[in-house]
Amino acid sequence: MLQVIPVRVSANIMPNDDLGNIVLKAIKQNRLEILNGDILVLAHKIVSKVEGRIVSLADVKPSPKAIRMSKEHGKDPRIMELILKESIQILRAKNGIVVTETRHGLVCANTGVDQSNVEGDAALLLPIDPDRSAARLQAAVKKKRGKEIAVVITDTFGRPFREGQVNVAIGVAGMSPIKSYVGSRDMYGRKLRVSEIAVADEIASAAELVMGKSKGVPTAIIRGYRFEKVASASAKSLQRTKEQDIFR
């Protein structure tokens, strides 16, 4: 059996806060413990906040392109400037929706730039290197509690063909984000149609069910999932390259 345990965080997160301390303290305040084999899942916002990936909109000077696009798509020109600055390519801009490829290679709306759950006239950007953020937190838990865990950092993405958004993994440490069935056989000895499952995305989605969007629960523990341990995991394994993608 797998457990998905919400971890409420009551601290007001500030830039340069120690994420390991904040999360471990929150786990204790929730009368929980972190155990060997747990997966710690974090909404990227808490990570972006401690890493100071917050921009005061008063400091943003929109380019002519950002001003033009902001009018077309009904967005604040300063937000549009950040969307462009954080992206390497615009994939679609239509009906007020701007889908880009981020510097990390993620394909998502608004390059992940977000104003919700941010205080004042500011916007939150994605962490610079979510894999590194995840690895640091994993190391902090090892150092402070002696526990071997995996870490998944998430964001909430829309997707083609389907309505609604789902949580996906944008940073991973300690576990393979993909479970491979390549070469596996079914119970009749036939090769499986499904070859690779994006388990880190499924873990991100499972965690979302207890995290919600406005409840002060940016963290969850997934307990009882036997992940494949890997030393240098990366959520980049979940990113399909442009060349491999028949929809680009």
| Interface stretch with a second copy, choices 4-12, 70-78, 128-136, 146-154 (CB under 8 A) | 4-12
Please give the order of strands across the beta sheet that includes 150-159: 150-159, 39-43, 219-223
One DSSP character per residue, 175-226 reads: B-S-EE-TT-B-TTSPBPS--EE-HHHHHHHHHHHHH-SSSS--EEEEES--
Return the number of the residue (128 or 192) whose C-beta is nearest a second copy: 192
Cα–Cα distance measured from residue 192 to residue 181, given in angstroms and rounded to the nearest whole number: 7
Total of chain residues touching a second copy, rule CB under 8 A: 70
Q: Which of 59, 61, 94, 182 binds a second copy (CB under 8 A)?
A: 94
Return the number of the residue (19 or 169) whose C-beta is nearest a second copy: 169
| Interface stretch with a second copy, choices 70-78, 126-134, 139-147, 233-241 (CB under 8 A) | 233-241
Tokens found for residue 154: 């998430």
Does 238 interact with a second copy (rule: CB under 8 A)? yes
Does 191 interact with a second copy (rule: CB under 8 A)? yes
CB of 111: closest distance to a second copy in angstroms? 12
Is the distance from CB of 166 to CB of 108 less than 8 angstroms?
A: no
Q: How many CA atoms lie within 13 A of 16 on its CB side?
A: 0
Is the distance from CB of 195 to CB of 188 less than 8 angstroms?
A: no
Q: Which of 164, 183, 231, 232 binds a second copy (CB under 8 A)?
A: 164
CB of 139: closest distance to a second copy in angstroms? 25
Return the number of the residue (84 or 217) whose C-beta is nearest a second copy: 217
Contacts of 221 (CB under 8 A, 6+ apart): 3, 4, 5, 7, 27, 32, 34, 38, 39, 40, 41
Q: Which residues bind to a second copy, rule: CB under 8 A? A: 1-6, 92, 94-95, 97, 99, 107, 110, 114-120, 156, 159-168, 177-178, 181, 184-188, 190-199, 201-203, 205-206, 208-210, 213-214, 216, 225, 237-240, 244-248
